[in-house]
Amino acid sequence: MPIDEPVRQSADELVHEVAAVPAEAAALRDVLADWALGRGLPRELAEDLKLTAYEAMTNVVKHAYPDGTDGNVMTVTAAHADGSIMVTVTDEGRWRDGRRPDGGRGLPIIRAFAPEASVTSTPTGTVVRLSWPCPA
């Protein structure tokens, strides 16, 4: 499935707003990895980025929106600045604490493979920020 054109794209920034569905997350993980490689991120780190960004997007797909909610979107931003590649995955859903029978490994994977990772949740959505060192 080809991914829609980015909302915004420049040499140092890429922004996609997509439906929070598995096919979009799968397509976008490859777009992000290729984009990061093009900015000089080493292949091994690009694979880590691909895995962790996909986990963050999968968490949006699985957990952010109650079943049947219309308009489920996620915004994925990648930026290259100050010697780092930063990826942000944002949703407008509601964080739900507690393990689910069909999950529970996403955040540990994210924290294991991203040198810097944070999760911020508010009543209006969740933001996952990931960062890797990258030469200028």
Local confidence band at 4 (pLDDT 50, 70, 90 cut-offs): low
pLDDT for residue 98: 54
Distance CA 82, CA 11 (A): 14
Instruction: Please tell me what DSSP assigns to residue 20.
Output: S
Q: Tens of pLDDT along 56-73?
A: 999 898 888 876 666 689
pLDDT for residue 29: 96
pTM, to two decimals: 0.87
Distance CA 113, CA 93 (A): 25
Domains (range + CATH), the chain: 8-133 (3.30.565.10)
Q: Tens of pLDDT along 6-50?
A: 666 777 899 999 999 999 999 999 999 999 999 999 999 999 999
Helix %, strand %, coil % for the chain, to 5? 35, 30, 35
